[in-house]
Structure 1
Amino acid sequence: MAHFDSNFIMSRILLTDEPTQIGCVYLEAGGIIGFHQALSAQLLLVVHGPASVRCDSESEVCVSVGDAVFWEKGEWHETKTETGLMAIVIESEALNPTKYMPVKLIKD
């Protein structure tokens, strides 16, 4: 961005008129967000620490700072960390990350 003598990059995350919940989640070392169904579309933005995520019966995938993980409404998923994790969690029926982010599908 070149406005106001600035020098940074901003990635758009969300633009919505729909109800949206945004939270910050912190897991201590050995922490887990247990296996559960997403009540709405959900985006996990990792801002500190490594973790592993899985959905349905898929095997775990390692994620780290700068990664974004998207789960669709109703999708079963889990997040856990050995060393600690902080992430921003966005939940909204209007989430469609393909509008704003490059998508990389991770499957075994």
Structure 2
Amino acid sequence: MEANSSTGFAVGALGITAEAHLVVVRLAPGGVIGQHPAVGRQILLVVDGDATVTGADDAPRALGPGEAAVWEPGEPHTTTTEHGLLGFVVEGDLDLDTRPGAVDAP
């Protein structure tokens, strides 16, 4: 996929609902997901590899396996990788609790 100046990027849908969907993303070593706005609230969870992400403040943040980034609807963001990335992205109508790691908490 090369939209938004992206390189080395592949995406595949795992499940889709009217409110949110889950996709698996793969970035080749040196890959880039170019800057684009989040369609809805978006969570990137790194499963394997590394990621450097930016959000509205454009400050780079390094992520490793088990770490995640969250972007708000409309927030511009980018993702790059030095060694390659396998991750999950959940985006859409998501309620996030204020506690780390809590999604759709009661």
CA distance, structure 1, for counterparts of residue 82 and residue 35 of structure 2:
16
Whether contact under 8 Å (2:39, 2:92) holds in the other structure is no
Aligned to 1:102: 100
Aligned to 2:88: 88
More strand by share: 2
Structure 2 gaps, min length 5 = 1-16, 102-106
For normalisation by structure 2, the TM-score amounts to 0.73
1:19-40, Cα deviation, whole Å (9 max, x unpaired): 2110000000011111010011
Q: By how many angstroms is 1:55 displaced? A: 1.0
Aligned to 1:62: 62
Divergent runs of 4+, >2 A: none
For the residue of structure 2 that corresponds to 1:86, the secondary structure is: strand
1:29-66, Cα deviation, whole Å (9 max, x unpaired): 01111101001110111100111000124221100100
Aligned residues: 85
For the residue of structure 2 that corresponds to 1:45, the secondary structure is: strand
1:62-101, Cα deviation, whole Å (9 max, x unpaired): 00100011101000000000100011000112x12326x5
For normalisation by structure 1, the TM-score amounts to 0.72
Larger radius of gyration: 1
Q: By how many angstroms is 1:18 displaced? A: 5.5
Choose between structure 1 and 2 for higher RCO, CA contacts under 8 A separated by at least 6 residues: 1
CA distance, structure 1, for counterparts of residue 38 and residue 50 of structure 2:
21
